[in-house]
Structure 1
Amino acid sequence: MRMRQSGGPRLEETPRASPTPPRLLVSSAALLWGLQFAFLNPALALLLVALYDATPADVGWVLAVYNAGGFVAALLVPAYADRMNNYLRPLLVCAGLTLVLAGVLAGTTSLPVAVVGLIALGGPAGVGVSLLFAHLKHSGAPRADVMKTRAVVSVAWVAGPPLATLIMGTLGNRAILLALAAVAVLNIATTAAMIRRKPQTVSDPTGPSTPDDDGPPLSRAGLAAVVLAFIALQATNSAAVSVMGLFVTGRLGLDVLWAGIALGVSAALEIPALLVIGRLSARFSSRALITSGCLAGIAYYAAMAFVADPVGLIALQILNAWFFAIVAGVGLTLFQQIIPRPGLASGLYMNTRRVGAIVSGPIIALGSMTALGYQGVFAACAALAVVALAAIALTRTAKAAVPDPEAVHSVPA
């Protein structure tokens, strides 16, 4: 659209963002990128031991440097895509790097070579999901479509680990690398199809934007508060998942199978929850939905500190599913609203999960040292979720200064 400066000449029209790719193409890409992570990440420790004779200590430091590389890549690669105003071509490169990584891991028996491959290739390759969501935001996809796409990624995470286990159990450990290569080839094909479908003429993501449904942009302090709040929320989820097996066997006296059932029920319920949230996003602001998710999380963790039977354990997973669906789906769209660069927004959000996983360690250690034992971990998670909710609520008063509309040169169409 065109706007005039006060008393000035008419300015050039801002390029329109290119249309969102067909729904089936986007869903296919989301499923494939989700499968890439679901195939490699859960099986990586096993591969290090089985293929490269890694010791437990080796597994620890390799996973640490691999995740550190992924953290850095999740910031640098999307930021580069922001500067290029193009997310599909970097996405294509990420798919190619995945294919090369599978070849390197399959073709070597040396642990150092595998580690170099994981850092140099695996870190950038793992940014694919961030770039896909950045492209959706950049091309003007509504929040409901982003939620649906996130639900497809969740489907991949539900189906991926069991499928990877089946492949490795029937065809051998290296077979999962062949499956990873096949997924990479399909990722290349779907990304190339999206590139061929339209030219990459897009609006400048760094330029002025219209206020979203949650009000003016946040100040730096407000943005920092949101990031820290989501790190806390991600940490509670990571801690609860990590301690579930010990809680079920030690506190409830049940077979460890019940931990798997509980986590499986929660993961399965997360998918319809994301679809429902996508519909609700047209009526409610991101902060309102996040508030509902935080309240569900607080209720879940508080109730888990007192649950005493398998029926209660399974029933409470409804709250857990809603909580994490809000964190995973609405959290992503909130970051895209408050950070003007789509790539940086998606990459920074994805990194809150990585940092949250690190923070979950002290939560488990400190919570389990209380008189409540493993119940104390859930109590600590409830308290941390309360703090996160308060931090997000306070950001309503941490708005950045909004420029005078008369001084704005142009806005995206």
Structure 2
Amino acid sequence: MQPYIPPSPKGNNPVFMMFLLVTFFVSIAGALQSPTLSLFLSQELKAKPFMVGLFFTINAVTGIIISFILAKRSDSQGDRRNLLMFCCVMAIANALMFAFVRQYWLLITLGLILSALASVVIPQLFALAREYADRTGREVVMFSSIMRTQISLAWVIGPPISFALALNYGFITLYFVAAALFLFALILIKTTLPSVTRIYPAEDLAKSAVSGWKRADVRLLFIASVLMWICNLMYIIDMPLYISQRLGMPESFAGVLMGTAAGLEIPVMLLAGYLAKKFGKRLLVIIAAVCGLLFYPSMLLFTHQIGLLVVQLLNAVFIGIVAGLVMLWFQDLMPGKAGAATTLFTNSVSTGMIFAGLFQGVLSDWFGHQAIYMLATVLMVMALVLLIRVKEKV
């Protein structure tokens, strides 16, 4: 299946198309590895639920540390393409390591360092795209939204293929395919993506000096984003286990649910990109949070396949808007620091993963899978309250 490439906002721009292709290849590589990771750990490494949660948590901590270090450097010096290519090489090494290594402690140390370096590709890709859009006078929100649809498209295709490869051909085949996709992305980055000189207006640089963590709006948005991603990532970690162990459904149905939500996210993202110009990002993100608040208790109310498929619409609106517009909201609050703002957003995702891994492991062990969705409902209420207090921009 080919990546979704809509008409360019300013005519046929080959660089724009290459951004979409690179995003697609990197995203589908991630969408092949992530959905089956909990099954990989439990089946191949015989890890208990707590050890599965611990793996996700340490993965997130490592990702935050490494991405913070690299993001600060990327905004001040060097060609982002070099960093992107280096991280793609690390992603290839990471996939090959997971293909062959079956020692838990080796994967949770060296394996997660490689994984953290691989995770830098997406935020740096979006930072480069933002700088390219600003430099060429493109419409930033729609450009970013269309790029983000490639991630959703990858998650339409990736999870079903991931489960099919893992269950029918084994995890070695799965990780070899992921490594090949990162190799394709590496070649495209080297040969097609632009090198963008970073020049910012003086007034933007002056604003950015006080628009980082010192700003209350940035802090509130970060905390709200963390809470929302805790909910989403608890769901991603737990859902394959919940539907198979608690509801007695086939493990492959987890891939169908993830793919359905991702497919619905594509029109949601495009519509959100269009509506953001009229109504602003803040209102749309608040609406998305309301949908998330309705989605998680619905996972407990609906115990049949059709019902679970239907409520994926709420999940799609929630993630489709949050994943696209919150990143741009951070960039609006931190002008002149595209890399730092984008990484702050992705670090909110990683921070969410820290708590999601811990909560999923502890709650599923002690109280059962239902407790995870009850906690998610409470956290969504808290996130909604915080979002209401955040301003639209600087």
The answer, yes or no, to whether TM exceeds 0.5 is yes
Aligned positions of 1:6-405 closer than 5 A = 22-44=15-37, 56=48, 63-84=56-77, 86-102=79-95, 117-139=110-132, 140=134, 142-168=140-166, 172-195=170-193, 198-204=194-200, 208=204, 220-244=215-239, 255=249, 261-301=256-296, 303-304=298-299, 306-307=301-302, 311-340=306-335, 341-360=337-356, 361-362=358-359, 377-396=372-391
Q: Which has the larger radius of gyration?
A: 1
Summarize deviations over 1:194-217 as a string: whole Å, max 9, x none. 34xx443221499726989xxx98
Q: TM-score normalised to the size of structure 2?
A: 0.77
Asked whether the equivalents of residues 85 and 202 of structure 1 are also in contact (C-alpha less than 8 Å), the reply is no
Give the AA of the match of 2:339: G
Indicate the larger mover: 350-359 or 163-172. Answer: 163-172
CA distance in 1 between counterparts of 2:53 and 2:234 reads: 18
Aligned partner of residue 288 in structure 2, secondary structure: helix
Asked whether the equivalents of residues 61 and 351 of structure 2 are also in contact (C-alpha less than 8 Å), the reply is no
Aligned partner of residue 79 in structure 2, secondary structure: coil
Aligned partner of residue 198 in structure 2, secondary structure: coil
Summarize deviations over 1:150-176 as a string: whole Å, max 9, x none. 110122123223324444555553333
Give the AA of the match of 1:174: I
Cα distance change on mapping 1:106 and 1:261 into 2, 3 Å: closer
Asked whether the equivalents of residues 167 and 176 of structure 1 are also in contact (C-alpha less than 8 Å), the reply is yes
1:248 shift after superposition:
5.8
Cα distance change on mapping 1:21 and 1:228 into 2, 3 Å: farther
Give the AA of the match of 2:157: A
CA distance in 2 between counterparts of 1:364 and 1:108 reads: 23
Q: TM-score normalised to the size of structure 1?
A: 0.74
Asked whether the equivalents of residues 95 and 128 of structure 1 are also in contact (C-alpha less than 8 Å), the reply is yes
Cα distance change on mapping 1:261 and 1:121 into 2, 3 Å: closer
Unaligned 5+ runs, structure 2:
1-12
CA distance in 2 between counterparts of 1:83 and 1:122 reads: 24
Residue number in structure 1 paired with 2:6: none
Asked whether the equivalents of residues 159 and 259 of structure 2 are also in contact (C-alpha less than 8 Å), the reply is no
CA distance in 2 between counterparts of 1:80 and 1:255 reads: 47
CA distance in 2 between counterparts of 1:224 and 1:309 reads: 40
Aligned partner of residue 395 in structure 1, secondary structure: coil
Cα distance change on mapping 1:363 and 1:49 into 2, 3 Å: closer
1:48 shift after superposition:
6.4
Between the aligned residues of both structures, percent identity stands at 23
Aligned partner of residue 152 in structure 1, secondary structure: helix
CA distance in 1 between counterparts of 2:305 and 2:42 reads: 35
Task: Give the structure with the higher percent helix.
Answer: 2
Cα distance change on mapping 1:318 and 1:41 into 2, 3 Å: closer
Indicate the larger mover: 302-311 or 158-167. Answer: 302-311
Aligned partner of residue 203 in structure 1, secondary structure: coil
Cα distance change on mapping 1:389 and 1:201 into 2, 3 Å: same
Asked whether the equivalents of residues 305 and 376 of structure 1 are also in contact (C-alpha less than 8 Å), the reply is no
Cα distance change on mapping 1:37 and 1:223 into 2, 3 Å: same
Aligned partner of residue 196 in structure 2, secondary structure: coil
Aligned partner of residue 282 in structure 1, secondary structure: helix
CA distance in 1 between counterparts of 2:25 and 2:242 reads: 33
1:249 shift after superposition:
7.6
